[in-house]
Amino acid sequence: MASGNSAATRYDGIAPTRRHWDRIPRLSSVCCTAEKFLAERPFERGPWLAVAFAGGIAAWFALPGPWQWAALLATGGALVLAMLAIPRDNRFPHAVAAVLGLALMVAAGCVVVWTKSALVGAAPLERPMIASVTGRIADREVQPAQDRVRLVLDARVEGVAHAVRLRVNLPMEHDDPGLAEGATVRLRARLMPPAPPMLPGGYDFAASAWFRGLAATGSVLGKAQVLVPSRGGNVWRAWQHSLATHVRARLPGAAGGLAATFASGDRGGIPNADQEAMRDAGLTHLLSISGLHVSAVIAAAYLVLIRLLALSPWLALRVRLPLAAAGGAALAGIFYTLLTGAEVPTVRSCIGAVLVLGALAMGRDPLSMRLVAAAAVFVMLFWPEAVAGPSFQLSFAAVIAIVALHSSAPVKAFLARRDERWLRRVARETAMLLLTGVVIELSLMPIGLFHFHRAGFYGALANVVAIPLTTFVSMPLIALALFLDLAHAGAPAWWLTGKSLDLLLGIAHLVARQPGAVSLLPTMGRGAFLLFAAGGLWLGLWSGRVRMLGLVPVAIGAATLALTAPPDLLVTGDGRNVAIPAAGDTLLVLREGRSDYTRDNLREMAGVEGELVSLERWPGARCSPDFCSLALRRGGRTWRLLMTRGQDRVDTLELAAACERADIVVADRWLPQACRPRWIKADRDMLARTGGLAINLAPPKVTSVAERQGRHGWERLGKPPPRHPSANPGATGAVASEAASRKSVENGAAPDAPPVPQ
């Protein structure tokens, strides 16, 4: 008893479990501040659990392999146990609950995506091949704008021991009515494993294919033979294809492709030029069935139903009309979601819209971050891989920006109803629409820069016209035309629809042609992107003045991005394409090539919008049919580059002498050990392990595709090819390349050319 009284006296009545906080005054002060902050925001804490869930998924993608994933789970488990060990009567209940909840959600996100990867992932083919394929058509997509039909097959491939899922392109001229979903076919195809990023920071199709279960993609050679006719496939897909075909038949051309997209989600009829114009004008979101389209369908269904139900006095007296109309509108939204393919943005939008309807029916505030968080968690539970993709990030960033803006006190005061003339009310709402567009563009800009390396500046203005045009004119006209087609009287409505969509395309092309409409920037690093994401979430999810603290990481991210210099040298993973930014917004290339995909990747990664110039036409380079050499002045010194272009054989001694005079050698074949440049030998042997390269010369630094990946199931880099396991031990960060010809060396294609003018 004496001891207990002594302890009580010594600690002035503070429970023994709290002693350690008082021994660390600064920690206690920080914890008290955090506790007070969390206690004052009970309704703003919930959405951060969804952020933590997304963080666990993102960490799984970012961490290289199973050991790191297990360490993340162990850390989360340790934090959970530590928080559970703290007594419930502690001084910081809200802070403890926050740490507990965040740790649980991070671990849950990692477990969900790891499990999904293990369940659906399909190992890619080991090598490219031309093979006979026999299988069942799982999906069929007609793409008239590309003059092809895209088939997804569950098939057996000649020379492959197990069944695989393939996606192949069939020319329209070889299409057959029997090639329907559910049919069993035999064909011959050129198949390729899903490609990794061409360059560091590029699009990773291999990861996307892994979660779709695709082991290879390719093209059909010749005609496909139908072995067993279809006995009925996916009903929703059949309706989608039938609706898209009907719309394109009633409204040909680019307008018909857009109308088919709005009606069924089928984008195959939109020409590439129009898609690029929509992208550059900031209107690409209109081509993806998501929030705008689903909201328009649900809102229209709600208004029509509540008006029709109100016509019956008997129903109006006995049924809650808003609840009944909300139920019918929800069914309409679900039907539209299934009809348009149930893609992730559509599902997300449908869930959000249904939750909004539920809130309206119960008299709750429909603009709530909790509803957004609930929709996000639902999507991430079933499609966790979407977190790493631009679609998920863009759609939720836009929704968060809209909800945060319209929930803020200044905006609520600005939009409050008041006694005023209609002209002032329209002006106020138009100004708010423009401000909303600007805020959305600012919130989406870092995501667009990170994934697509481009930013648009007129998108807000274009959307002020395009969104109302699509929502209130084009989509209602499409619905009216389809309804009138039941009586074969839809021609006038289709004509009006075509005019409205032509206007939309005209706006896109007009905006895209303006100077400065789109700017390309070098690849944004993950650190800068995380700063933008953290700042944006802080700005969006908190309220009051404290949200302004989110501007700090945003400003740091912007400064980091502004200081990011483009790489001095880009090398694709096959070693065939080399790009060097030069003066005057010019990009020097080793091979001009015919692939738009390759040219676009090189431009985007280099952040260069200007002309592509072949090295053989550049006065600072020396080229022969087999070699190109160039000297670059960077960081106070001259760097000498040697690049192979031909396939002829050269004398080993002469090749070795040429390599010794070069700092960097790039080739698309294997080079012998005798070729030892001063720094990097980027030939096929090393490129097979590293993938594409981005090389900076001041200061010297090499970034590879492999180091930005890890040991996920779809990643095949980092493994030496079986036919040439040795690498150049004298080249730092070396990459393998092939030999060039004797004639090239004799013709003077040695790396002694003058530097590229800067």
Residue 435 has pLDDT above 70, yes or no: yes
Asked if residue 724 has pLDDT above 80, the reply is no
280 vs 517: CA distance, rounded Å:
7
Q: What's residue 23's pLDDT? A: 52
Residue 142 · residue 265 · CB < 8 Å? no
Residue 15 pLDDT class (50, 70, 90 cuts): very low
Q: How many CA atoms lie within 13 A of 38 on its CB side?
A: 19
- 585-632 pLDDT, tens digit per residue, is 788 888 877 777 888 888 888 888 778 888 888 888 888 877 888 998
pLDDT of residue 722 exceeding 50, the answer is no
pLDDT digits (tens, 9 = 90+) for 142-179: 888 788 999 999 999 998 888 999 999 999 889 888 88
Strand order in the sheet with 569-571: 612-614, 586-589, 578-582, 569-571, 693-697, 700-704
Q: Are 121 and 206 in contact (CB under 8 A)?
A: no
Predicted confidence band of residue 740 (pLDDT cuts 50, 70, 90): very low
Q: Which helix (H) or strand (E) holds 282?
A: none
pLDDT per residue over 288-336, tens digit each?
766 677 878 888 888 888 888 888 888 877 788 878 888 888 888 888 8
Q: How far apart are the first and last CA of the chain?
A: 86
Q: At what angle do helices 66-85 and 47-62 cross, to 10 degrees?
A: 150
Q: Please count the CA atoms within 13 angstroms of the CA of 624 that sit on its side-chain side.
A: 20
Residue given tokens 């505030």 in the structure block: 365
* Assigned CATH for 129-233: 2.40.50.140
- What is the bridge-based pairing of β-strands 700-704 and 627-634? unpaired
141, 149 Cβ separation under 8 angstroms: yes
The number of residues making up the chain comes to 758
Model pLDDT, residue 718: 62
For residue 719, is pLDDT > 50? Answer: no
Q: Would you place residue 748 in the very low, low, confident or very high pLDDT band (cuts 50, 70, 90)? A: very low
Q: Between residues 456 and 539, which one has the greater pLDDT?
A: 539
- DSSP, res 87: -
pLDDT tens-digit series, residues 36-94: 888 888 888 889 999 999 999 999 999 988 999 999 999 999 999 998 988 877 788 88
Question: Which of these ranges, 428-437, 573-582, 744-753, has the smallest mean pLDDT?
Answer: 744-753
Of 219-228, 454-463, 483-492, the poorest mean pLDDT is in: 454-463
Q: How confident is the model at residue 439 (pLDDT cuts 50, 70, 90)?
A: confident
- Distance in angstroms (rounded) separating the CA atoms of residues 250 and 266: 15
Q: Residue ranges of the domains in the chain?
A: 20-120, 129-233, 245-520, 569-746
Question: What single-letter amino acid sits at 411?
Answer: V
Task: Sort 741 into a burial class: Cβ within 10 Å, 0-12 / 13-18 / 19+.
Answer: buried
445 pLDDT above the threshold of 70: yes
312 Ramachandran zone, left/alpha/beta (phi>0; psi -120 to 50): beta
The Cα 459–Cα 162 span in angstroms is: 48
Is residue 352 within 8 Å of 375, Cβ to Cβ? yes
Q: Residue 197: which of 707, 691, 726 has the closest Cα? A: 691
244-252: average pLDDT: 89
Residue 380 pLDDT exceeds 90: yes
> Which of the residue ranges 9-13, 565-569, 706-710 has the most confident prediction, judged by mean pLDDT?
565-569
For a pLDDT cut of 70, what percent of the chain falls above it? 89
Residue 188 has pLDDT above 90, yes or no: yes
DSSP state of 130: E
Strand ranges, E, within 402-461: 454-456
692 pLDDT exceeds 70? yes
The pLDDT score that the predictor gives to residue 440 is 84
- How many alpha carbons fall within 13 Å on the CB side of residue 620? 17
The first and second tokens of residue 375, run together, are 């929709």
pLDDT reading at 137 higher than 70: yes
The pLDDT value given to residue 461: 78
Q: What confidence tier does 27 reach under pLDDT thresholds 50, 70, 90?
A: low
The answer, yes or no, to whether residue 17 has pLDDT greater than 70, is no
H helical segments located in 313-368: 313-318, 321-339, 344-361
CA–CA distance, 589 with 592 (Å, rounded to integer): 6
Highest mean pLDDT: which range of 108-117, 264-273, 435-444? 108-117
Average pLDDT, the chain: 82
SS3 523: coil
More confident residue, 757 or 11: 11
When pLDDT is averaged across residues 488-509 and rounded to a whole number, the result is: 92
Percent residues over pLDDT 90 in the chain: 25
C-beta neighbour count of 82 within 10 angstroms: 13
